[in-house]
Homo-oligomer: A and B are copies of this chain.
């Protein structure tokens, strides 16, 4: 069991409606030491890949991506969710559905920061249905860049996102894959890796 899985068992809370709350260490309060452990593990799993850029999406992916980026020595680009007056110029755009916020968003990356010479590691905090990830993959594809891998903190293994992405041939590494969880007992079972 790795440090993230241990932490989920210690501080994660299962709530009704398929919600795993990890806001005390992952996506509201953020434990930077833990993020560094995750960065080391992603570096081990993607060792030897010619990664020159990390791509994530605001907001909760950004912290993890920045700490992980130190282990690869590369910059981070985050896709923005709202159209900003400061985002001028040509942009890659993808539409994604959000389970958490129950709405559709466009995510946007400036074309200045992603092109066909880039070898991208995508980082995000959660993978469930894979909507956000599909949007990021679409943006990388629009740029003609190469996806070298996808690193996820927590995957809900009983939802279809992970399987679909792996079926497409991507190297998808999730540090914790939840196979089942029960809000009434609080039980969380991880897939053995």
Contacts and interface: CB of A to CB of B under 8 A. Distances in A.
Interface residues of A, number: 43
- Please state the number of chain copies in the assembly: 2
Interface string A1-33: 000000000000001010101011100111110
A190 to B, nearest CB: 20
Interface stretch (A41-49, A56-64, A173-181): A56-64
Interface stretch (A72-80, A129-137, A146-154, A157-165): A72-80
Nearest to A58: B59
A100 B75 contact: no
A30 to B, nearest CB: 5
A70 B113 contact: no
